[in-house]
Amino acid sequence: MLQRRSHYILIAAFCVLALVATGSTAWLATPSQALAQQGPICGIGLWDTQYYNNTVFSGATQTFCTTSNQLNLGLNWGAAGPIAGVGPDNWSASFVTNLSFATAGTYRFTTTYQDGVRLYVNGQLIINAITTDVATSQTTTGDFFYSLAGSTVPVRLEYVNFTGNANVSLNWSLVQGGGGTGQTGGGNPWTTEYFNNRTFTPPSIIGATFPAGPLAVDFGFNAPAPGVAADNWSGRYTRVVNFPTGGVVNFEARADDTVTVYVNGTPVTASAPYFAGEGVVYRGSITVPAGLSTIVVEHTDIVAQAYVYVSWSGGGDTSGGGSTSGGGTTGVTSPTGVTATVNTSVLNVRDAPSLSGQRLTQIRRNEVYAVLGKNSAGTWALLQVGDIQGWSFAQYLTFSGDFNSVPVADGSDQTPAPSGDIIGQGRPVGNMRVRECPSFSCKNLGFVPWGDTVGIYGQSADGRWIKIQYVTASGEVLVGWSYKIWYRTLNSLEEPLPQFPVVN
């Protein structure tokens, strides 16, 4: 029976290929608004199909051809194996083709299966439903934003049967489209994979998807997925986001224990390598092109509690949750006629004009706030940040209007800003020590975590050191020297710092 079935499949495939070769493909369906389907090997209207005598998609030696009609209507093997040489239980199959659509927009893919499936569209995992043996057929959907009408995207459907009956089907339909301008909310979910180590070393365990939008996951003291330990693990979360206008996108991330955010392969923000710090928010910005960008979040847990939160704003996308600081960028009015724009990556807002003041919130680059007052020395500005009034270092603000004209508010200046002007910025590609003078023998004052932004006053006479200012997570201001070769510009982690004036 199994041999006859495989013969029938081969005969059907050869017939299809013969029709393709003669140009007679009118009977082949282009279902669910597909403009074209073409398997890399099998050709037009077909899906390259491989069967594996295991559940990990390993060891196939032959490619079969499945018609689009067969996959749309459903393949049903019952309790038998799919081909000769593959048993009735614990086997897997892959179906690969290239799809194009006449209309841009969001397409919803629907698959019905027993026991499990994964679906990748243009390299993005949009359906992730391989877990355990199930007694009945299941149905799962996943959305994909198709940005350019007529373009080709690769599609790969992975199917697993553990025991019992085996079946799978795949269909899709346009649920939001027209114009190719993209969505600004909802969209593709987060796909997840976990590793039983802190170094993202395979094999991975595929976890549940998380809803589209900002990443907000709190595992508490539990394991993130079946088969993963509760401690000493790492997780990778991936989502493709449409930024219709492109431009600067600002990210915020916090985690227990560590987190790094990548956009299109470029690290944007990262925590300290061993512990991010309870409640510490790490921020970074990147310029993205208009259209689709891939966000990857790498998260590790060492021990005890585990959570990760990532949000963003900008680029025309409104699904990222925005800033948690309550700031704005346009239309800010001020009773003094003066507004302030943040000119550093992150700036603390305190309840007094002093580093010993309690931190109320944080604001970030390019956000604009009303200026309510200043301290007597003019080194601190009193800002209106949402419903909060608080103090920030004036040197990290660019004022619109005459800051000297604003009234002196309550409070006294207890900690003046460091002397000298910050003339540049950079970020380290490792955890870098800050020293009292430009020498390895000088006293260590603290360190700058990988990826955080520092202000730069200038460089040493030999050009090997830079004098920097770094505001720690606790609000402490470190001013000292750090080794220049390990710093890069904010534009690129491959771009070294330029030359700076010599300072003492």
Query: Do 2-163 and 191-314 show the same overall fold?
Result: yes
The average pLDDT across 232-250 equals 87
Contacts of 419 (CB under 8 A, 6+ apart): none
Q: What is the pLDDT of residue 399?
A: 86
Q: What is the pLDDT of residues 435-463, one digit of tens each?
A: 999 998 899 998 888 878 888 888 998 88
Q: Strand 266-270 and strand 116-121: pairing? A: unpaired
* Helix (H/G/I), strand (E/B), else coil: 346: strand
Q: What pLDDT, on a 0 to 100 scale, did the predictor assign at position 2?
A: 39
Mean pLDDT of the 202-213 span: 79
Q: How many CA atoms lie within 13 A of 489 on its CB side?
A: 11
Residues 6+ apart with CB under 8 A from 121: 99, 109, 144, 153, 154, 155
| Residue 9 confidence (pLDDT) | 37
Which stretch, 83-92, 120-129, 367-376, has highest mean pLDDT?
Answer: 83-92
pLDDT of 474 reads: 66
Phi, psi of 267 (to 5 degrees): -70, 130
Question: Residue 115: what residue type?
Answer: D
Q: Is the pLDDT of residue 434 over 90?
A: yes
CATH for 191-314 is: 2.60.120.260
Strand partners, 155: 97, 121
Enumerate the β-bridge partners of residue 448. Answer: 432
Burial of 1 (0-12, 13-18, 19+ CB in 10 A): exposed
Mean residue pLDDT across the chain: 78
User: Residue 94 has what pLDDT?
Assistant: 94
Maximum separation of any 2 CA atoms in the chain, in Å: 92
Which pLDDT score is estimated for 235?
A: 93
CATH code for 2-163?
Answer: 2.60.120.380
For residue 473, the model assigns a pLDDT of 66
Q: Which of 318, 394, 402, 392 is nearest to 355 (CA)?
A: 392
Q: Given this model, what pLDDT does residue 305 score?
A: 80
Pairing of strands 306-314, 477-483: unpaired
Say how far apart CA 196 and CA 382 lie, in whole Å: 48
Burial 81-118 (b: 16+ CB within 10 A, else e): bbbeebebebbbbbbbbbbbbeebbbbbbbbebbbbbb
Confidence of residue 388 (pLDDT cuts 50, 70, 90): confident
- Count H helices and E strands in the chain, helices first: 2, 36
Exposure pattern of 363-390 as b/e (b: 16+ CB <10 Å)? bbbebbbbbbbbbeeebbbbbbbeeebb
Residue bearing tokens 């079969």 = 64
The verdict on domain 424-488 having CATH code 2.40.50.90 is: no
Averaged pLDDT for residues 470-474: 75
pLDDT tens-digit map of 391-425: 888 878 888 888 888 888 865 444 444 445 677 78
Query: What is the enclosing helix (H) or strand (E) of 314?
Result: strand 306-314
| pLDDT of 230 over the 70 cut | yes
What are all long-range contacts of 404-407, with beta carbons under 8 Å and residues at least 24 apart? 404/378, 405/336, 405/337, 405/338, 406/336, 406/338, 406/371, 406/372, 406/373, 406/374, 406/381, 407/336, 407/373, 407/374
Confidence category of residue 316, pLDDT binned at 50, 70, 90:
confident
387 or 277: whose pLDDT is higher?
A: 387
The answer to which of 195-209, 242-256, 327-341, 412-426 has the lowest mean pLDDT is 412-426
Just give the CATH number of 339-405: 2.30.30.40
Higher pLDDT, residue 211 or 29: 211
Q: What is the pLDDT of residues 44-61, one digit of tens each?
A: 778 999 999 999 898 877
Task: Look at residue 36 in the predicted model and tell me its pLDDT.
Answer: 56
| pLDDT higher than 60, residue 10 | no
pLDDT band at residue 169 under the 50/70/90 scheme: very high
Q: Where are the domains of the chain?
A: 2-163, 191-314, 339-405, 424-488
Model pLDDT, residue 61 = 74
* 264-291 per-position pLDDT tens digit: 888 888 765 555 445 567 777 788 888 8
Task: Decide which of 349 and 197 is more confident.
Answer: 197
